[in-house]
């Protein structure tokens, strides 16, 4: 079943953007709180890689999971990035304003027979790393049953090379799943390259299966290293989860923080002070892609 015209235009827009930029990444935090140091290191790395490539860098706010959003977090994320000199291109994209788009794709995938309704509970699936296909043939209704909606899963062949199992695209609580929203956005915004945190490596198989189901090439996904301090030591959970505020309270300014993040990546010596653009200039002859894989 061919992609209908109103959806085809997203694919076309994405291709045009990707071709125009050559390299385009997005930084996509969830507004569940302030950016912690790990997020900031990731932001710095993906910004550096994009700017080194002469490419684009957009900001996308992954705010679909509304119960997890924190008041003021979207503003705080933007303030912190600007304070650090990590400027993005164009207006930020809020996923909450794109629900209609995700639902249109979901609806088309459902009509083209690629999805099935699943009524397995979290408890029933506990301990199974890959969905065992229980509801694939079940033909469940789409309505409420015992006050629960089904989740909708993408049918993924057992011999699929990505090994993702059947990916949830709409959750049983009615929310669009992160996997669907991120893949649709990466396609529609012409994202060619993604540099993100190592914790998201586990999302790769599901995303690859979904790109394949849509017949689109995935961006080149690469993941950054774990966060370390200026002397190469792993940060404690408490240090890593705090945002910029304690650093600012201790009198650090933006060049000190950039110096600290960059020295954690072994890009500059400990105690270096420099702005994000100075760091970019300093790295002209250094291949930072060795840090991401």
Question: Which residues sit at the interface with ligand GLU, rule CB under 6 A?
Answer: 28-30, 62, 182, 196, 200
Q: Based on CB atoms, which residue is closest to ligand GLU, 151 or 182?
A: 182
Q: Based on CB atoms, which residue is closest to ligand GLU, 89 or 124?
A: 89
Strands 24-27 and 56-61: parallel
Q: How far is the CB of 145 from ligand GLU (least distance, A)?
A: 31
By residue count, the chain amounts to 293
What is the C-alpha radius of gyration for the chain, rounded to an integer number of angstroms?
A: 20
Q: How far is the CB of 240 from ligand GLU (least distance, A)?
A: 15
Cβ–Cβ under 8 Å, residues 106 and 180: yes
Q: How far is the CB of 62 from ligand GLU (least distance, A)?
A: 3
Q: Based on CB atoms, which residue is closest to ligand GLU, 63 or 166?
A: 63
Q: How far is the CB of 56 from ligand GLU (least distance, A)?
A: 16
Cα separation, 11 vs 9, whole angstroms? 5
Q: How far is the CB of 255 from ligand GLU (least distance, A)?
A: 26
Q: How far is the CB of 151 from ligand GLU (least distance, A)?
A: 19
Question: How is residue 235 written in tokens?
Answer: 């940060």
Q: Based on CB atoms, which residue is closest to ligand GLU, 138 or 226?
A: 226
Q: How far is the CB of 32 from ligand GLU (least distance, A)?
A: 8
Q: Based on CB atoms, which residue is closest to ligand GLU, 28 or 169?
A: 28
Q: How far is the CB of 118 from ligand GLU (least distance, A)?
A: 23
Contacts of 39 (CB under 8 A, 6+ apart): 29, 197
Q: Based on CB atoms, which residue is closest to ligand GLU, 72 or 269?
A: 72
Q: Based on CB atoms, which residue is closest to ligand GLU, 74 or 256?
A: 74
Side-by-side strand order, sheet with 168-170: 115-118, 151-154, 168-170
Cβ–Cβ under 8 Å, residues 243 and 252: no
Q: Based on CB atoms, which residue is closest to ligand GLU, 30 or 188?
A: 30
N-term to C-term CA, the chain:
36
Cα separation, 163 vs 236, whole angstroms? 33
């Amino acid at each position: 079943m061919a992609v209908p015209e109103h959806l085809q235009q997203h694919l076309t827009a994405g291709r045009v953007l990707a071709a125009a930029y050559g390299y385009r990444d997005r930084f996509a935090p969830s507004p569940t709180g302030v950016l912690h140091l790990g997020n900031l290191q990731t932001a710095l790395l993906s910004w550096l890689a994009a700017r080194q490539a002469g490419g684009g860098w957009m900001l996308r706010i992954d705010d679909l999971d509304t119960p997890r959003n924190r008041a003021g977090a979207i503003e705080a994320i933007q303030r912190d990035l600007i304070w650090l000199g990590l400027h993005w291109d164009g207006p930020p994209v809020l996923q909450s304003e794109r629900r209609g788009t995700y639902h249109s794709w979901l609806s088309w995938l459902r009509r083209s027979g690629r999805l099935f309704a699943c009524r397995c509970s979290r408890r029933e699936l506990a301990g199974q790393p890959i969905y065992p296909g229980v509801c694939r043939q079940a033909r469940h209704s789409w309505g409420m049953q015992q006050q629960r909606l089904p989740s909708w899963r993408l049918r993924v062949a057992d011999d699929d090379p990505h090994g993702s199992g059947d990916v949830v695209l709409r959750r049983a609580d009615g929310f669009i799943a992160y996997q669907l929203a991120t893949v649709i956005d990466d396609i529609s915004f012409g994202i060619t390259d993604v540099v993100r945190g190592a914790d998201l490596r586990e999302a790769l198989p599901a995303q690859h299966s979904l790109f394949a189901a849509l017949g689109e090439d995935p961006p080149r996904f690469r993941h950054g290293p774990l966060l370390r301090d200026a002397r190469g030591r792993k940060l404690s959970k408490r240090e890593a989860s705090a945002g910029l505020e304690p650093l600012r309270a201790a009198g650090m300014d933006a060049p000190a923080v950039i110096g600290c993040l960059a020295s954690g990546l072994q890009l500059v010596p400990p105690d270096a002070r420099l702005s994000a653009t100075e760091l970019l200039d300093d790295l002209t002859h250094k291949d930072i892609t060795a840090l991401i894989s």
